[in-house]
Amino acid sequence: MHHGITLSAFLHHEQRLHALSPDLAGVIEDMARAIKQISHLVSLGALGDVLGNANATNIQGEAQKKLDVLANDVILRHHERSGHVAAMASEEMESIYLLPIGEQRGDYLLVFDPLDGSTNIDINLSIGTIFSVLPCPPGVNEPREPDFLQPGRNQLCAGYAVYGQATVLVLTLGRGVLSFTLDRAVGEFVLVQENLHIADEGHEYAINTSNWRYWDPPVRRYIEECHAGAAGPRGKDFNMRWMGAMVADCHRVLSRGGVFLYPHDSRDPQRPGKLRQIYEANPIALLVEQAGGAASTGRASILDVVPQTLHQRIAVIMGARDEVRLIEAYHESCP
């Protein structure tokens, strides 16, 4: 593959050489167009009517930002009449989204978090869009919620965009991870990196330490050992970063290594974690595994967990393989 080719050329190449279905390529092209439009809205900042609250709450009970609602709408509009998807689900909608009556149904289910890291919107820090494509079960023309409750291993494609200094699209079709940058002059995503790889060993971690008192002992142990640095049992110093947007923190992990944790904590006994499994954890977990890293709840591989509900939450520990395995070992020795 050649650096500098456009996303469309890459998808064309995948259809020719790896039998990528034209409809799946179509879903990705539609998503790329939606991301370009969201990127434009984000770039308006205070000059557009895009900042602040939408005066509504989502299914998670979180106050929706205007940009959460706008981005959700942009993605729905780019897919609902394409004929490529059968139905969609999003962090911002309580139920699954069925296509308008009369529109052709495709073979795919699209799930997405339209604007991850909403609390960063009004302070002009990194935010992103996360998406994933699942197969629509054969013979299903009008999908229902149980059709979306598939383990992450079923994902046919996963990706995210980060709206940072540049808008970056990171994508996997299950054959490694590629990174594209939006060339605003021509309105095209251009391939800038192939085979993103996360080094097995990490020296950087990301976790919200304000939740320390709620963590389980294995997570406390791991972070305590990171804090101890070269003088502690790990025998090396660690660096810490926290962006407050999973998509940005995980983009750093995919770009320069380390580990990201939003583990189980005891704040709410009903909640296995904070992050949502189907449209947040699963897509990033697939990208991390495809880049040679590992993605775990601490006790199981994220991609093997079968979700019970559309908005199910899950504990997330992912990134450098050796670090994730060590945290899993701490969980094993602490039933």
Give the footprint of ligand AFP on this chain (CB under 6 A): 62, 116-119, 208, 244-246, 262, 274-275
In whole angstroms, the minimum distance from the beta carbon of 20 to ligand AFP comes to: 29
Q: Judge whether 152 and 285 are in contact, CB under 8 Å.
A: yes
In whole angstroms, the minimum distance from the beta carbon of 309 to ligand AFP comes to: 17
Nearer to ligand AFP, 84 or 313 (CB): 313
In whole angstroms, the minimum distance from the beta carbon of 279 to ligand AFP comes to: 11
Q: Across the strands, what pairs with 108?
A: 85, 135
In whole angstroms, the minimum distance from the beta carbon of 204 to ligand AFP comes to: 15
Mapped onto helix, strand or coil, the DSSP state of residue 51 is: coil
Give the pairing type, strands 259-262 and 204-206. parallel
Q: Judge whether 277 and 313 are in contact, CB under 8 Å.
A: yes
Residue 235 region by backbone torsions, left for phi larger than 0, else alpha for psi between -120 and 50, else beta: left
Nearer to ligand AFP, 104 or 208 (CB): 208
Nearer to ligand AFP, 41 or 246 (CB): 246
Beta strands in the chain (DSSP E): 53-57, 63-65, 85-90, 97-98, 108-116, 127-135, 157-163, 167-172, 177-183, 188-193, 204-206, 239-240, 259-262, 275-276, 294-296, 313-314, 316-319
In whole angstroms, the minimum distance from the beta carbon of 335 to ligand AFP comes to: 27
Q: Show the CA angle centred on residue 249, arms to residues 41 and 4, nearest 5°.
A: 65
Nearer to ligand AFP, 147 or 265 (CB): 265
- Closest listed residue to residue 253, CA positions, set 335, 324, 312: 324
Nearer to ligand AFP, 180 or 262 (CB): 262
Nearer to ligand AFP, 88 or 318 (CB): 318
In whole angstroms, the minimum distance from the beta carbon of 317 to ligand AFP comes to: 13
Residue nearest ligand AFP by beta-carbon distance? 246
